[in-house]
Amino acid sequence: MSLFDSDQNLYDDREAVTDGYVPDELVGRAPERAALTAALDPDGSGTASDVLVWGPPGTGKSTFVKRVLDSTLGSGEGEVAYVDCSAFSTPYQVAARVADELDEESFNTTGHSREDVYDALDRACSDSAAKFVALDGVEALAGSDLLDLFLDDGRFATATLVGVADVTDLPESRFDGQLGGVQTVRFERYSVSELRELLRTRASYAFTDHTLSEEVVPLCAAYAMETDRGATEAIALLRTAGDVAARQLDSRIAGYHVQRAREEREHDRLRSRLGDVDVHGRLTLYAVVAAGFADETPLRTRDVYDRYRSLAHVGGRDSLVVRRVRVRLSTLADRNLLTVRKHNEGRGGGVYREYDLPTDPETMAEVLSAAANLSDVHRSAVPS
């Protein structure tokens, strides 16, 4: 018996709170739906326009496009290729996947010449059936010849392009002037009230009656508003809270399950960012953690270095020179494992950086504790 078949029976349909679910209702997006539906020409008059749906992450763009395309093609006429550009490293691979989705021939993302792939895509886009090519993460193709070929009078212009871009602004320079004839639909971030409505709608599909305590939806919405992931994070928190309750064999989902879900997701994000950071990068991070426990953050580079050297000695490792520790600090900041603030105090004080933790030291220490061969360092940096 799986976890989600337990006698507690929390879920009606767990799929409704997963990333791939496409709901029938699009909460709070009536104007955007009207704009995209009009552009896609559902009345068959032959005036479909290329469209770019854009806005910050977590605003429901991908789900929105999938639902509107499903509705537009509900009569069974036309074909859709939906491709996530972030899953591929080159425009060639994106083109191969689009060809694979639209053409009867099968194309791997390697092993074919560029011209063979473009020929297959040309054939697929040129037959009589309407073609819609939805490219999620289309900003990755900015300036590419593939994007040119879908737009204006390009080789694949018989297909209607629906681009989805995770961008907070849309300077024309990003796309090198490629968007001249493209309609745009902008998505704003959800308000907290809209997030609550969205969560209640998803929860009504996902969970059995009387499963959610009153505080669950407001908490998920409030925590999600603290991040830059919006609806994506809110739905993930709701799902994870349900999973926590199911693991604990609880009959209702309550606020403390949301708190635990928030902690689990934060730990997962930190572990992912830590990834392949080398041992000296982890020692550098431990140095800031130790300062955090001592309430001595933020730290200037030289203070981080002093603590790093001490912890390297505890761990039985030769310390790096300060220049190489600065590289580790930059890497940790780039991965959002540290925050950094640059100060310029003029001719007298000079320029320097201060580093701090993006979360509490307890959470970061817990994530770091999984690192092999650093148990002595952990005991030295973290108070018992």
Q: Give residue-wise pLDDT tens across range 189-226.
A: 999 999 999 999 999 999 999 999 999 999 999 999 99
Q: Where in the chain is the domain with CATH 3.40.50.300?
A: 30-186
Report the distance separating Cα 298 and Cα 353, nearest Å: 9
Give yes or no for a contact between 55 and 229, defined as CB atoms under 8 angstroms apart.
Answer: no
pLDDT tens sequence across 122-155: 888 877 777 889 999 999 998 888 988 888 777 8
Give the range among 93-97, 246-250, 259-263, 343-347 with minimum mean pLDDT.
343-347
Count the Cβ atoms, other than its own, within 10 Å of residue 127. Answer: 12
Q: Where in the chain is the domain with CATH 1.10.8.60?
A: 193-273
Q: Is 98 exposed, middle or buried (0-12, 13-18, 19+ CB in 10 A)?
A: buried
pLDDT at 2 over 60: no
Q: Whole-model pTM?
A: 0.78
Q: Where in the chain is the domain with CATH 1.10.10.10?
A: 275-381
For residue 1, the model assigns a pLDDT of 40
Give yes or no for a contact between 98 and 81, defined as CB atoms under 8 angstroms apart.
Answer: yes
For residue 100, give Cα distances in angstroms to 118, 304, 354.
11, 52, 50
Topology (CATH level 3) of domain 193-273: Helicase, Ruva Protein; domain 3 (1.10.8)
For residue 110, the model assigns a pLDDT of 65
Domain 30-186 of CATH type 3.40.250.10: no
- CATH code for the part of the protein at 275-381: 1.10.10.10
Report the distance separating Cα 333 and Cα 381, nearest Å: 20
